[in-house]
Amino acid sequence: MDLPAKNRWLLGNWIETYLQLNERETAEYERLRELAANREVKVMEMTWAERMEAEYTRKGIERLREVVLSLLSRRFGSVPETVRQKVEAIDTMEPLAHLAERVLDLKSVEDVEAS
């Protein structure tokens, strides 16, 4: 059944408010919610603020990737595809920021692959 977004939100809100789960049921719900097939449930449950935070974090990571690749290019010239793929595969802020801090210390662009 395909429900409009507002109806999905209302249904999720109703369940959260009126259906109280015990500890075992809560653990099972969390396990099911984390499955890739249930990704939409997780998104539906996010508050507006959580969605905004996730969006800004995603955009920040994308921008930091661009900065790292630009720094590597300015420092070493062309960036090999393998290095570009490695940088683009980093999907959290901390390791990407760490790499950005280390760009000036690298001896060659290939040192990115060793990190």
What would the pLDDT profile of 24-58 be if each residue is shown by its tens digit? 988 887 787 777 776 776 666 666 677 788 888 99
User: Which amino acid is present at 36?
Assistant: A
On whether the pTM is more than 0.75, the answer is: no
Examine the domain organization and report whether 41 and 55 are in the same domain. no
Number of Cβ atoms within 10 Å of the Cβ of 68: 23
Examine the domain organization and report whether 25 and 64 are in the same domain. no
CB 108 within 8 Å of CB 76? yes
Q: Return the pLDDT at 50.
A: 75
Examine the domain organization and report whether 53 and 105 are in the same domain. yes
**Mean pLDDT of all residues in 54-69:** 93
Count of domains observed in the chain: 2
Q: Return the pLDDT at 42.
A: 66
Examine the domain organization and report whether 59 and 110 are in the same domain. yes
Examine the domain organization and report whether 58 and 16 are in the same domain. no
What domain range is 94 assigned to? 49-114
60 contact partners, CB below 8 Å, separation of at least 6 = 93
Examine the domain organization and report whether 15 and 70 are in the same domain. no
| Residue in the block written with tokens 């290095």 | 83
Examine the domain organization and report whether 109 and 57 are in the same domain. yes
User: CA dist 51 to 31, 39, 97, 100, Å?
Assistant: 21, 14, 22, 26
Examine the domain organization and report whether 110 and 54 are in the same domain. yes
CB 16 within 8 Å of CB 41? no
Residue 75 token pair: 């420092």
